[in-house]
Structure 1
Amino acid sequence: MTTATRIPAGIDAAALGELTKDGNGPRLLDVRTPGEFRTVHIPGAHNVPLDTLREHRAELLHHLDEDTVLICRSGARAARAEQALSDAGLPDLRVLEGGMVAWEAAEGPVTRGAARWELERQVRLIAGSIVLVSGLVALAVPGVGLAATAVGAGLTFAALTNTCAMGTVLARLPYNRGPRADIASVIAALRSRP
């Protein structure tokens, strides 16, 4: 049995900016990697990477409500987080449309840390490098061009399913991981909110 893909409720950057300008806005859960979060995030956001959120969603359910906005770079991971929480029994969360890209374009306030390459940029570098090198080597060694075909097939699958296996693997590298999200601290912060 297949289920239809649900489109999560969204909120645009301007509307979220209005809700957060007095400091009493919705809860903000940023589901990007700790490295991405440390580079730039919305003040007051809690970092719960997508994998951690999936692992601890039962614990998080008791501390979240529809007054929660999920954030990632572009909206795709936040939509997957929303689906995971909805499947666990917490429907009606909102996703920041366009993610941090839209937030920064709207000149929303951010907290910046050390600059790092975003996960998407890392994926483009690795995929492009594989295609470039295999294309060049294929000029001399027949069959090596199949690596480029495999990368192309993977990128096509990633686009069609709105997932990215290469991004998932890269997210696990030390460069992107940083300190593991302390779910107990996040829950304590969510609990202390009025």
Structure 2
Amino acid sequence: MTDPSATLTVDELAPRLNSATVIDVRAPGEYASGHIPGAHNVPLDRLDDALTALGAATGKGELVVVCASGARSGTACGRLAGQGITATSLEGGTQAWARGGHTLDRPEGARAVWPMERQVRLVAGSLVVLGILLDLAVPGARVLSFLIGGGLVFSALSNTCGMAAVLSKLPYNRRRAGDAGLDATLRRLTQA
């Protein structure tokens, strides 16, 4: 079985960017906000649909998985390793890439979308505050805050996030109209 904890630094990836296949597992809206040049978007929730193409891509060189910070790409590498596909996660993700002075590609007309981690923090924090405030009018409503807190603890322990999965389905996190989508990405991966 391959090592799902293998990582690569920005300084290690930069000189081999042209020979590596970079897979960005963020939601399409996040990807459109700025991605590593040449990266292919395969959202984490669609990773299983891409296993054949990703397996084929590993035969053509190094497979590097990236997200905003490195958390989702680490999860993706673990899932790929479970399928016998060797992949490496970029430490610090696109945030580290940009901090390292490297450019991010942004499609024409793409609007900025917050990284998923920031979206989760906003929604979770808002729901906790809402539960506390509602409890002033409806005794017992603070259970909402308890449930959100429990969900965050489970998310940290399991390295999964149900709230992120739900938020990724919102329209601003989905592909734009006219975007060829995952099928076109998979065709490019198998042809490359």
Query: TM-score w.r.t. structure 1 length?
Result: 0.86
- 2:64 aligned with 1:69, yes or no? yes
Correspondent of 2:165 among 148, 168, 186: 168
Which residue number corresponds to residue 29 of structure 1?
23
Q: 1:141 aligns with which of 138, 141, 148?
A: 138
Structure 1 position 188 matched with structure 2 position 182: no
Q: Which amino acid aligns with 1:165?
A: G
Closer, same or farther: CA 59–189 of 1 in aligned 2, 3 Å: closer
**Partner residue of 1:58?**
52
Unaligned runs of 5+ in 1: 1-5
Cα pair distance change 1:139/1:175, threshold 3 Å: same
- Deviation, structure 1 residue 84: 2.0
Equivalent positions of 1:37-52 (< 5 A) are 37-52=31-46
The CA distance in 2 between the partners of 1:135 and 1:116, in whole Å, is 28
Write the distance in 2 (CA, Å) between the matches of 1:51 and 1:131: 26
Structure 2 alignment gaps of length 5 or more: none
RMSD value, Cα: 1.9
Output the amino acid matched with 2:35.
H
| 1:175 partner amino acid | Y
Question: Could you tell me whether the CA contact under 8 Å between 2:69 and 2:91 is conserved in 1?
Answer: yes
Q: Contact (CA 8 Å) 1:28, 1:46: kept in 2 or not?
A: yes
- Distance in structure 2 (CA, Å) of the matches to 1:183 and 1:143: 44
Give percent identity, aligned residues only. Answer: 41
Matched, 1:109 2:103: yes
8 A contact 2:56–2:190 mirrored in 1? no
Instruction: Say yes or no: does 1:94 pair with 2:88.
Output: yes
Deviation at 1:157, TM superposition (A): 0.8
Higher deviation after alignment, 65-74 or 156-165: 65-74
1:172 CA drift (Å): 1.0
CA contact (8 A) 1:28 1:69 kept: yes
Q: Report the alpha carbon displacement of residue 58 of structure 1 after superposing the two structures with TM.
A: 2.6
Residue 9 (1) aligns with residue 6 (2): yes
SS of the residue corresponding to residue 57 of structure 2 reads: coil
Q: Secondary structure at the match of 1:62?
A: helix
Deviation (angstroms), 1:148: 0.4
Match of 1:155 among 146, 152, 160: 152
For 2:68, what is the secondary structure of its paired residue?
coil
State the 1:171 CA deviation: 0.4
Q: What is the distance in 2 between the residues matched to 1:77 and 1:118?
A: 12
Contact residue 63 and residue 187 of structure 1 kept, 8 A: no
TM-score between both structures, scaled by the size of structure 2? 0.87
Q: Which residue of 2 is the match for residue 3 of structure 1?
A: none
CA contact (8 A) 2:155 2:161 kept: yes
